[in-house]
């Protein structure tokens, strides 16, 4: 099997990248464009006045911490997988998944906090935008959690190890990307509020 692979590699272009990984990066570009559009819409709309001012829910600080922490654990799992330390891989991934779900729950409570402040989805766009940002990001994060769970299951089936890292690498980059995206959104909201 290895011999065959070697041969096929020889036929292929030497500079090429794993196509699926590349496609994932392109998908992340599209997600960036969606949020770039929404955040610029936010700025344009804010500049026109009639803008409801309110405090951001404090829980965002906690959820930001959680999402960063889950990225750290996932990266630990990723490094462990590279070293074929399967136990650490499973522990790291399980914690990352748990933290990911905790993040989602936290984001839900941020909506509860917003409602307590009389900021509703329907009303002044300044509030609606916040719901759209968190909601759309949450949807992407759910897809990330599902992806992580799939990789977690395959790690229990001994399908993730140093020789087979493709899906693990993809899951890790996607998760880091989603975490980074949330940090961007949070920073953006802090600066443009």
Q: Does 124 bind another protein (CB under 8 A)?
A: yes
**Measured from the CB atom, is 4 or 58 closer to another protein?**
4
Q: Does 191 bind another protein (CB under 8 A)?
A: no
Tell me the site size for another protein, rule CB under 8 A: 43
Cβ nearer to another protein, comparing 65 with 123? 123
Q: Write the CB contacts of 4 (distance below 8 Å, at least 6 apart in sequence).
A: none
Stretch that binds another protein, among 55-63, 127-135, 155-163, 172-180 (CB under 8 A): 127-135
- Tell me how crowded residue 95 is: count the other CB atoms within 10 A of its CB: 17
Contact between 132 and another protein by CB under 8 A: the answer reads yes
Angle subtended by helix axes 125-156 and 86-116, to nearest 10: 160
| Number of Cα atoms under 13 Å in the Cβ half of residue 126 | 16
Mask for 69-108, x = binds another protein (CB under 8 A)? ----------------------------------------
Q: Which two tokens stand for residue 132?
A: 């759209």
Which residues fall within 8 angstroms of residue 149, CB to CB, at 6 or more apart?
97
Rounded least distance, CB 80 to another protein, Å: 29
Smallest CA-to-CA distance from 141 within 115, 116, 164, 108 is with 108
Among 22, 61, 109, 156, binds another protein (CB under 8 A): 22
Q: Is 136 in the site for another protein (CB under 8 A)?
A: yes
């Amino acid at each position: 099997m290895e011999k065959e692979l070697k041969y096929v590699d020889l036929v292929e272009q030497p500079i090429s990248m794993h196509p699926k990984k590349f496609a994932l990066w392109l998908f992340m570009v599209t997600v960036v464009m969606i949020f770039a559009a929404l955040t610029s819409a936010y700025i344009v709309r804010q500049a026109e006045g009639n803008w409801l001012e309110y405090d951001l829910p404090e829980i965002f600080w906690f959820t930001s911490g959680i999402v960063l922490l889950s990225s750290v654990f996932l990266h630990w799992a990723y490094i462990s997988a590279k070293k074929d330390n399967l136990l650490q891989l499973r522990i790291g991934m399980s914690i990352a998944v748990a933290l990911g779900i905790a993040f989602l729950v936290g984001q839900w409570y941020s909506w509860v906090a917003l409602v307590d402040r009389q900021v509703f989805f329907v009303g002044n766009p300044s509030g609606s935008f916040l719901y759209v940002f968190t909601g759309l990001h949450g949807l992407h994060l759910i897809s990330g959690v599902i992806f992580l769970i799939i990789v977690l299951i395959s790690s229990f089936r001994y399908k993730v190890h140093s020789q087979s890292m493709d899906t693990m690498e993809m899951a890790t980059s996607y998760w880091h990307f989603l975490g980074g995206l949330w940090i961007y959104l949070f920073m953006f909201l802090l600066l443009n509020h």
